[in-house]
Amino acid sequence: DAKTTQPPSMDCAEGRAANLPCNHSTISGNEYVYWYRQIHSQGPQYIIHGLKNNETNEMASLIITEDRKSSTLILPHATLRDTAVYYCIVFPLEYGNKLVFGAGTILRVKS
């Protein structure tokens, strides 16, 4: 079972920041927070991950609360191509572990 809770859907205006929340209140100390997305009919795509600190890359920023019980994925300037299902996953970096995908959040970017 997924160990995260995400809203089922969100809308965002094109050009605005999209803030996608994720609750992972039972996260363990050795578990990372990963974000993937799946654009319609394509394979999932890695976005970003983090352990404690906030992270930023060319796609997005990840803000993790100090108690690590929740996080927010930020797409700073959403475009229509960012319309997708976004998955928040907690994942221990140990040999043999597996990604467990939940239902994710459907993000609709509208012009």
Partner 1 sequence: DTAVSQTPKYLVTQMGNDKSIKCEQNLGHDTMYWYKQDSKKFLKIMFSYNNKELIINETVPNRFSPKSPDKAHLNLHINSLELGDSAVYFCASRDHRGSGDTQYFGPGTRLTVL
Nearest distance, CB of residue 36 and partner 1, angstroms: 8
Task: Identify which of residues 17 and 99 has a Cβ nearer to partner 1 in the complex.
Answer: 99
Q: Quick one: which of 84, 64, 80 has its CA closest to 72? A: 64
* Residues whose CB is less than 8 angstroms from the CB of residue 103 and which lie 6 or more positions away in sequence, other chains included: 2, 6, 8
Instruction: State which of positions 78-97 bind partner 1 (CB under 8 A).
Output: 85, 87, 91, 93, 95-96
Selection from 24, 99, 31 nearest residue 65 by Cα: 24
| 41 binds partner 1, rule: CB under 8 A | yes
Site of interaction with partner 1 (CB under 8 A): 32, 34, 36, 38, 41-46, 49, 85, 87, 91, 93, 95-96, 98-101, 103
